[in-house]
Amino acid sequence: MTEASLIGLFVATVSFGALLYLAALGELLAEKAGVLNLGVEGMMAIGAVTAFIVGVEFKNPWAALLVAMLSGAILASVHGFFTVGLGAEQVVSGLSLTILGLGLAAYLGKDYVGLPPGAELVPVEWAGFSDLPWVGPIFFNQAPIVYLALLMGIAVSFVLSSTRLGLALRAAGESASSTDSAGHSVLGLRLSAVAAGGALAGASGAYLTLSITPQWAEGLTAGRGWIAVALVIFGAWRPGRVGIGALIFGGTLALKTRLQPFGVDFSPIILSMLPYVLTLAILLIISIQARKRPSPAPFGLGLPYRREER
């Protein structure tokens, strides 16, 4: 086990962690407002493909990122319209969104498969810091989206815990009818949370095609959207804990292709089951503890709200 390969492992851990964190933060926002969105995988795919297309056509990575976030938000709004607006089943609508997103991404990206990227977000050099041993490459030489993920984590955490908007948003997820009585628009809060969540999932997808694997291919998201859904539970709906979880799960993704240099004879496929198995374990622990203290899940998660039915 060389130092270089160990550093490489940690660099990839942070990088994959940021990828998962962005998508998971989006899911957390939607779930905090009471909407389960199982369309993360589809929204990531749409973000990934639109970012790549804009990159190829306009050569501007920032425009690509912006369009990816916008596309993610638009796709998420389809889910918002049906579940929040029309009160459709969130599970069914979310899964359809995944199917729709993967289909649309394949349709849009058909002519872009295998093309070289037109724009990339390359690692940032932080004067002085990037040359530090260990922490330099691991923390101070990452792609800009990694820092965006960190910023978003802090922002989401701050908005949810310390602002009126965040309070209203959480209230919409805990008890829609009392939020309504308090004069807030449950519809507006939930729709915005879902759309914002979609934008974050789109950004996560963009990170794939602008930095991690700067190419487009069908199935590029490879089930990472499901890890994001798992992360929200793993982190007990708290932005900070979800961040820690993202690093752990990101580590398993990073390890997957890097076991060989460490001389470990262990199937990377078995390792890739770890995030899901860990999440299952956490779910069990949460529910066993729930007998003593309340579950961290938003109380109104999954429940549609119609004023006349309260």
Query: Which x/- pattern, by CB under 8 A, does the window 196-235 give for another protein?
Result: ----------------------x----x--x--xx--x--
Residue 257 lies near another protein (rule: CB under 8 A): no
Minimum Å distance from CB 177 to another protein? 12
Neighbours of 44 (CB within 10 A): 36
Closest CA to 192 of 31, 77, 65: 77
Whole-Å CA distances, 279 to 180, 234, 235, 274, 286: 33, 5, 9, 8, 10
Residue 104 lies near another protein (rule: CB under 8 A): yes
Q: Which is nearer to another protein, 5 or 267 (CB)?
A: 267
Sole binder of another protein in the list 1, 58, 59, 110 (CB under 8 A): 110
Rounded CA separation 237/121 (Å): 30
Q: Which is nearer to another protein, 25 or 105 (CB)?
A: 105
First to last CA, the chain: 61
Rounded CA separation 155/158 (Å): 5
Please answer whether residues 120 and 211 qualify as being in contact, where contact means their C-beta atoms are separated by less than 8 angstroms: yes
Residue 77 lies near another protein (rule: CB under 8 A): no
Residue 284 lies near another protein (rule: CB under 8 A): yes
**Which residues sit at the interface with another protein, rule CB under 8 A?**
36, 38, 78, 82, 86-89, 91-93, 95-100, 102-107, 110, 218, 223, 226, 229-230, 233, 267, 269-270, 272-273, 276-277, 279-280, 283-284, 287-288, 290, 297, 306-309
